[in-house]
Structure 1
């Protein structure tokens, strides 16, 4: 168990300490579940009411908080409590799984693969011909990297993930368990002789730097060229990204959302959970798509869309208000 003082924590956060506590901090925890040796956070003033009943001895709070910490309790005031709490969580994070060998004896690594210094390959992994793994890549057990792929430095790929042939992943990425990069795009056409004829998918996937892809998510290879995810994109669990889609930088896709083929997202687009985007659409920079929405037309930069089919947020809210009034009449 770790024991860290408030002053040690604040040395990382560079906040303002208000109050005092005799306790050392053993862990972070949410307000309702925290014990007297744990630290929590208040990222929104609407949660201030929970502080009095909480047993936490300390909290990371925003500078505009309107309450005092109380006896033997302390606040660390910062500009952004959510971001500061992420730093605290990092301080208390347990060590990742350990490797007994840099390359486990049961891993199969083709002799033509190039393995960078400090790279670790776990039990049961497969690394195919002409693969390039840069320095400090981590492949946890049972990862598959097929022919002619490249993986950038410090990228972590968790168990069960598959990177299919000719795909390229940047540096400092995280691929969570069982995600699949470069499966065939969904391409079929009616055929009198065969019913449905499969359209070959001969492209690949290119993923930028600092990209994170959640468990059981899929990024399909392009039919002709590349499906592309720009730097800094964050993809949740159970997300589908169709063939030849292009994501700009710092896009977010929440769980169960999906892009059909050849969708283009600008920079900083946010797709809510279970939202669906029709094929061959373009969503401009900064677009926000609400959870559960269905987008069937291009969206101009900066717009927020809600509903099924999706319309501008202001219009959707008016429609919902009218329906609510009709239901009560």
Structure 2
């Protein structure tokens, strides 16, 4: 079992330690559930009221909140408890699933595929013609990578993921279970003779940068022509849809159930809240935030926060809702 002393944990996160403990700490937990050999954390004032009744052996706390708690539980005082807890979680991260053999004999690898050093390929995976895997790529069981794809150094792909032909994936990416990369974009037009719908063929591809993480069951569709592009460092939650010809800048965040229609452009550092939907051919400029559940129908300026359906300036929308509530009381 992994365990650390309080002093070791304090050093790891460069905390100011207030109090003592002889416990060996074996993990982390919520304030309400933590035991004497577990560490918890307080990153918001609304949780300080839970400190007095907690059974945690130690608490990581924001420096600006320490005056709000008093008791016997040792404190690890840091500028940002959330970031400190991220560092502590890495200490207790369990081992990844074990590969009995680096490259399973039950995987299919086309003779023209190029496999780098120290790659791992699990049972039932399919590696197509002219695929290129850089050094250290990890492919868990039942992954499909079709022809002419390239995957960068130490990218990790979890079971069920399908990467369609011609996709280009960067280094140090993580794709969780059942991610779909490079499926056809959604495009149809009425037939001239009225007989039905004509499918628009999508001949482009998907290009994904370095350090991108994509959550389970999310989809990135290939472009009608040219490429759908996901920039370096983007983090995509579970159950997210990114349609054909979208372009995401660096370090964008998209929360679960959000979606981009075709040809949406996100600048650097854009944040899309859960269940938000973005109209096609819209540009959301760098640093903008789209609140959860919002529907964006037009361009959003850099650094702006929008809210509602249709989404407008968040401050104006909150004032509007307050006014409506007042009318209801009249």
SS of 2:89's equivalent in the other structure is: helix
State the distance in 2 between where 1:269 and 1:239 align: 15
SS of 2:10's equivalent in the other structure is: helix
Change (3 A) 1:246 1:55: same
Q: Is the aligned partner of 1:106 residue 2:114?
A: no
Deviates more, 1:11-20 or 1:226-235: 11-20
Tell me how far 1:69 sits from its aligned partner. 5.9
Q: Aligned ranges for residues 191-202 of structure 1 at < 5 Å?
A: 191-193=191-193, 194-202=195-203
Tell me how far 1:323 sits from its aligned partner. 1.4
State the partner residue of 1:137: 137
State the distance in 2 between where 1:136 and 1:158 align: 14
Any conservation in 2 of the 1:167–1:205 contact (CA below 8 Å)?
A: yes
Tell me how far 1:48 sits from its aligned partner. 1.0
State the partner residue of 1:125: 125
Tell me how far 1:60 sits from its aligned partner. 1.2
State the partner residue of 1:40: 40
Length-normalised TM-score, structure 2: 0.97
State the distance in 1 between where 2:112 and 2:191 align: 41
Change (3 A) 1:121 1:175: same
Any conservation in 2 of the 1:156–1:173 contact (CA below 8 Å)?
A: yes
State the partner residue of 1:250: 251
State the partner residue of 2:180: 180
State the partner residue of 2:277: 276
State the distance in 1 between where 2:98 and 2:269 align: 35
Q: CA RMSD in A?
A: 1.0
Which runs of at least 4 in structure 1 moved beyond 6 Å after TM superposition?
none
State the partner residue of 1:314: 315
State the partner residue of 1:52: 52
State the distance in 2 between where 1:270 and 1:222 align: 23
Q: Is the aligned partner of 1:205 residue 2:213?
A: no
Deviations 1:120-163 (A, max 9, x none): 00010000000011111111110000000011111110000010
State the partner residue of 1:237: 238
Tell me how far 1:258 sits from its aligned partner. 0.4
SS of 2:25's equivalent in the other structure is: coil
Tell me how far 1:63 sits from its aligned partner. 1.3
Unaligned runs of 5+ in 2: none
SS of 2:60's equivalent in the other structure is: strand
Any conservation in 2 of the 1:19–1:69 contact (CA below 8 Å)?
A: no
Tell me how far 1:13 sits from its aligned partner. 1.0
Unaligned runs of 5+ in 1: none
Tell me how far 1:70 sits from its aligned partner. 3.1
Tell me how far 1:68 sits from its aligned partner. 5.2
Q: How many residues align?
A: 328
Tell me how far 1:328 sits from its aligned partner. 1.9
